[in-house]
Amino acid sequence: MTEAHRIVFLDRDSVIAKVRKPSFAHEWTEYPATRAADAAPRLLDARATIAITNKVPLRADDLARLPDLKMIAVAATGTDIVDLAACRERGIVVSNIRNYAVHTLPEHTFALILALRRQLVAYRADIEAGLWQKSERFCLFGHPVSDLAGSRLGLAGYGALGKSVAHIARAFGMEVVVFNRSPVTDDGVKQVSWDELLETSDVLSLHLPLNDKTRNIICAKELIRMKSSALLINTARGGLVDEVALADALRTGVIAGAGFDVLTKEPPPEDNVLLNLRLPNFILTPHSAWASSQAMQVLADQLIDNIEAWQAGKPDNVVG
């Protein structure tokens, strides 16, 4: 008789959705959250064959202590929390979640873009300060408002999320250009060089994974090359942008504004430069772009689908 798999979910509270149990025989253990230092001991104590993690890291030293571990199911798209090379060496299959946020993240991206282009934060502050109430006219001016129609949206990365953002952009009448390592053949989308993307985009939105090639892909020298009227949007990964350089660029008017949903370290320390940036042209949200109730349920369902596919000998969404 085949021994039941032992599944440990290290950070169950990170997925606010109904997570069904796999259809095959198994033992299930879950923790609301797990510190990095506690991940290996908890998996070892359970003699886990399958680990589920959203943001709890599993590094080479951890994996070396887990002889029973056969699969890591990442409850997210990004897999930088897992040492993929060490998994390959040990024959551990890693799966991730794909294309679950194709509506929620693009909608959040445009919420940031619209709020910045329409100066919602600045005008809200003016109203709270009593400026409209004291205005001699029926309306209050003071912050330049720009339409999206006719402007250029530059996308760095053109996977499922980038394509969904492009679809919305075209509905607003924006021209869409893309920097992508593989050829782009979609109608209505122009593929451009990195230089052209930086220098001509009115809005530059990042949709890239975080790896050694993309880390700090936007630094001071890239920000200087952007239009002074441009917006920078990052709903992808913290670490793609040099946060200190961005703060300086926003304070000095190198670019017009930025909307971020991610930071290099999450949750951020109190001294994070962007966390403490109090400017009307900067909006920071707490890594919530992915987290609509609909998207999280899709994620939860796909998470168990991945585990069941692997157990059936037909692994899906394998990484590395």
For 209-251, the pLDDT digits (tens) are 999 999 999 999 999 999 999 999 999 999 999 999 999 999 9
Torsion from C-alpha of 241, 245, 249, 250, nearest 10 degrees:
70
For 10-53, the pLDDT digits (tens) are 999 999 999 999 999 999 999 999 999 999 999 999 999 999 99
Choose, from 5, 266, 278, 308, the residue flagged as catalytic. 266
Q: Give the pLDDT of residue 6.
A: 98
Q: Give the pLDDT of residue 2.
A: 62
Burial (CB < 10 A; 0-12, 13-18, 19+), residue 56, is buried
Mean pLDDT of the chain: 96
In the CATH scheme, what is the code of domain 104-284? Answer: 3.40.50.720
Choose, from 237, 243, 251, 278, the residue flagged as catalytic. 237
Please say if the pLDDT value at position 185 is more than 90: no
- pTM here is 0.89
Say how far residue 293 (Cα) sits from the centre of its chain.
16
Phi, psi of 149 (to 5 degrees): -55, 130
State the fold for domain 5-97+294-311. Answer: Rossmann fold (3.40.50)
Tokens standing for residue 158: 């053109």
Q: How far apart are CA 69 and CA 84, in angstroms?
A: 14
Q: Where are the domains of the chain?
A: 5-97+294-311, 104-284
Tokens standing for residue 226: 């952007």
Q: Give the pLDDT of residue 204.
A: 98
CA of 26: how far to CAs of 3, 48, 50, 202, in Å?
8, 10, 10, 52
With a CB cutoff of 8 Å and minimum separation 6, the contacts of 309 are: 95, 315, 316
Please say if the pLDDT value at position 274 is more than 80: yes
Least confident range from 35-39, 90-94, 188-192: namely 188-192
SS3 99: coil
Please say if the pLDDT value at position 298 is more than 90: yes
Q: Matching CATH topology for 5-97+294-311 and 104-284? A: yes
266 among known catalytic residues: yes
Q: Give the pLDDT of residue 1.
A: 45
Please say if the pLDDT value at position 188 is more than 90: no
Please say if the pLDDT value at position 187 is more than 90: no
Q: How far apart are CA 64 and CA 77, in angstroms?
A: 24
For 116-139, the pLDDT digits (tens) are 999 999 999 999 999 999 999 999
237 among known catalytic residues: yes
> Comparing C-alpha atoms, which of 93, 52, 92, 112 is closest to residue 299?
52
Phi, psi of 95 (to 5 degrees): -120, 155
Please say if the pLDDT value at position 272 is more than 60: yes
Choose, from 6, 12, 108, 287, the residue flagged as catalytic. 287
